[in-house]
Structure 1
Amino acid sequence: MRHTTTIAAASLLAACLGQAAFAQSSVTIFGTVDLGMTHLRNAGGSVTGLTHSNANISRFGFRGTEDLGGGLAASFWLEAGYSPDTGAGPGPSGTNGLSFNRRATVALSGRLGELRLGRDDSATFLNTLIFDPFLTNGVGGTNAFVMNGAPIQISNAISYLTPAGLGGFYAQLQHARDEELNSRVGRYSGARLGWRQGAVHVSAAIGDLQGATTAQDVRIRNAAASYDFGVAQPMLLWASEKRGGVELRALQLGVKVPVGVGEVRAQFSRYDTSGSDADWRKFAVGYGHNLSKRTQLYATYARLWNSDGSQRAIAPQGLTAPTNTLGGNATGYELGIRHFF
């Protein structure tokens, strides 16, 4: 009887230890599939077709963490973008191989913060993403991150992120080397500082991307703020990208309004080019209806007005917009479904 009890106790202890060890390490497979039917029209013509990543970027990835003890943890994140309308990966035309183009990082984190290595979102991109009601996606997404050559993701990055528990304050420092002999092309330095407490969120970022010459360097600056009233969350973004002697500036006012199980999204933005009439304005409104925590139906309408020196078009992913003419306006609308897994 004692022997049986000992075996049972040992089995129970082994099971508990096994569960504890398993709890110390985890790996998650995650992703998004987002597809919609989109119609685009401008002075160059019109086109209708299937687009992707209209509400959220279509992606596939793996992430994991390991508890190293003493408050220290190791983690990794591998994330690939893809085009579900064709099934192709993000590689160049003719290859289309799956690559972890969106993120490929390994990190150590603890009481002093996180040290992260690898390809990651640039520090200066994040404000244009977070403070856009459309998350930069689809016909309604902002143009504030693609104005004048600023990077979205950056390779060979070394990033430091402050720990949680600083009274709502957070910061990120990021640097990426070019890794080419006698070259400066692609070298990037950026920083982001913010405060998020309760309904308030404010953030600012600054960065520089080096080109082949100083005249091709890109200087990036942006600042944003939002306040969640519960019935509505307005957000304001200012962004600037200067390359050589040309500076493009964006000013964007957006809002998110919860409606039952869904959300209304709207935004108006203006984009000004220094020293020329290559300016444009954009308005977008949309609605996302959540069928569950993972699945959403959405619809968005957008209109863009070009000044005489601008020929911008509305161009979601997966569908080539007709080439616009100088001063020509553009419209677009989309209906689609997004599913997380």
Structure 2
Amino acid sequence: MKRIALSTLSLALLGVTGMAHAQSSVTLYGLIDESVQYVNNATPHGGSLVQLYSGNLQGSRFGLKGTEDLGGGLKAIFQLENGFDVNNGKLGQGGLMFGRQAYVGLAGNAWGTLTLGRQYDPLVDMIQPLTGDNYFGSTFATPGDVDNNDNSFRVNSAVKYVSPVWAGFQVEGMYALGGVAGATGSGQTWSGAATYATGPFSVAAGYLHASNANTLAARTAAGGWAGTAGGTFDSSFPANAGINSAYAFSKAIGIASAAVQYVTGPFTANLSYSNAQYKPDANSGFLTTQKFNVGRAYLGYQLTPAALLGVGYAYTRGTGDATATYNQVSLGADYSLSKRTDLYAVGAWQHASGDQRDPTTGGLVGATASIGSYGNQSSTSNQVMVSVGIRHKF
């Protein structure tokens, strides 16, 4: 079957007659990431799990993005993007039609970009690119994604501004309205970050604050989290499930994060640090702020123009409500067959110690391993995961 390339479509082809201009375009794009995955010590029986898994290096997706030249260096822009599971065709992000991104806005050469809708937060935009997650995905992510380094959530109802680049320096800010009458701060999210890049050196830092709904009724109806940080703190992540379940109800989350990266020849090295704080209130099932201090290191080697190797280490230390500690070592290899298709193998080992809060009973239990942000809880304090896959972009 002959493949038809749909890189750009005029708006007229989408039925918007009389409004299209020569400077207007819509781009159809997507990505399919599929793998065979092995996980040991898998619950509930502690045996080995072999499965097909969609979305290792990147989540499988399908989207549309467009621009219209308004003149004078000003453009109207939009992006609509869904996530899906290639194994069963189901939508990701809780079944939302455009769960990954959905926004519209204006972009100007001189003053930057302003967008409104469901979007990534500034930490994901500016700090994640300087971590191992950017190169090898979720297998290199923070255990439980307690600091959203693997962008487990997006922000709803968000207004986001991204500045132009000034001599290598760029800033980004976001505010999401909670939309609760008489309680402006209920459910709101706000964040800011900055990055600087010059030659082989890059550095970025930022902070994110997300508030839950003020009322117990709203949290109960939502199953624990009712703020604008949509999809926040997936209850399948053992590291933080017990403080974000319907039992616990975190009041607010604060995440401070920074990263630095240096590229020399075929080597890429980066270091990053995050401090994530899960804060309770009178409606919460825990009394003391849970803190996670996360340190990550990554070293990549471009063996050939087509072959990339990488190794990463993540240390996560919990204090306050629970004392779980996670050590995770990750390995990755990626080989490009073309500009659009590559083969990869990724693997990780994790060891957990200390205790974590149980999402069902609310009590403290021994910490169990759970690599990255997959949510595959181990039946013991150790876990190994290996995935071999293919990724195709279109």
Q: Smaller-chain TM-score range?
A: 0.7 to 0.9
Specify which of 301, 306, 320 is matched with residue 347 of structure 2: 301
Q: Distance in 1 between matches of 2:147 and 2:182?
A: 25
Task: Report the residue type matching 2:54 in the other structure.
Answer: H
Indicate the residue corresponding to 1:332 in structure 2.
Answer: 385
What does 1:1-341 align with in structure 2 at a 5 Å threshold?
A: 24-42=23-41, 44-90=46-92, 92=94, 96=95, 99-110=97-108, 111-127=110-126, 129-135=128-134, 140-143=139-142, 146-147=145-146, 152-164=153-165, 166-183=166-183, 184-212=185-213, 216-244=251-279, 245-260=289-304, 261-275=306-320, 276-309=322-355, 310-314=367-371, 321-325=376-380, 328-341=381-394
Q: Distance in 2 between matches of 1:294 and 1:272?
A: 38
Give the secondary-structure state (helix, strand or coil) at the position aligned to 1:228: strand
CA separation of 1:22 and 1:288: change in aligned 2, threshold 3 A: farther
In the alignment, is the contact (CA less than 8 A) between 1:144 and 1:250 conserved in 2?
no
CA separation of 1:138 and 1:48: change in aligned 2, threshold 3 A: farther
Note the residue ranges of structure 2 that are not aligned, 5 or more in a row.
1-19, 215-248, 280-288, 356-366
1:198-243 CA-partner distances (Å, limit 9, x unpaired) = 2111000112111245962111100001011122010111011111
Aligned length: 312
CA separation of 1:224 and 1:182: change in aligned 2, threshold 3 A: same
After the TM superposition, list the runs of 4 or more consecutive aligned residues in structure 1 that deviate by more than 2 angstroms.
Answer: 42-45, 124-129, 131-139, 148-152, 180-186, 212-215, 314-317, 320-325
Return the offset for 1:291: 0.2
Return the offset for 1:71: 1.0
Return the offset for 1:313: 1.3
Return the offset for 1:340: 0.3
Return the offset for 1:58: 0.8
CA separation of 1:157 and 1:321: change in aligned 2, threshold 3 A: same
Q: Distance in 1 between matches of 2:202 and 2:372?
A: 30
CA separation of 1:106 and 1:76: change in aligned 2, threshold 3 A: same
Q: Distance in 1 between matches of 2:82 and 2:213?
A: 29
Between the aligned residues of both structures, percent identity stands at: 28
Task: Report the residue type matching 2:58 in the other structure.
Answer: N
In the alignment, is the contact (CA less than 8 A) between 2:112 and 2:162 conserved in 1?
yes
Q: Which moved more, 1:290-299 or 1:42-51?
A: 42-51
Give the secondary-structure state (helix, strand or coil) at the position aligned to 1:99: coil
1:245-304 CA-partner distances (Å, limit 9, x unpaired) = 111111000122111111012101100011443010100011000000100000011000
Task: Report the residue type matching 2:116 in the other structure.
Answer: L
1:285-332 CA-partner distances (Å, limit 9, x unpaired) = 110000001000000110001113221312665xx735434xx11000
In the alignment, is the contact (CA less than 8 A) between 2:144 and 2:373 conserved in 1?
no
Q: Distance in 2 between matches of 1:80 and 1:64?
A: 15
Please report the RMSD computed on the Cα atoms of aligned residues, expressed in angstroms: 2.3
Note the residue ranges of structure 1 that are not aligned, 5 or more in a row.
1-20
Give the secondary-structure state (helix, strand or coil) at the position aligned to 1:321: coil
Which entry has the higher C-alpha Rg, 1 or 2? 1
In the alignment, is the contact (CA less than 8 A) between 2:143 and 2:326 conserved in 1?
no
Indicate the residue corresponding to 2:231 in structure 1.
Answer: none
CA separation of 1:137 and 1:103: change in aligned 2, threshold 3 A: farther
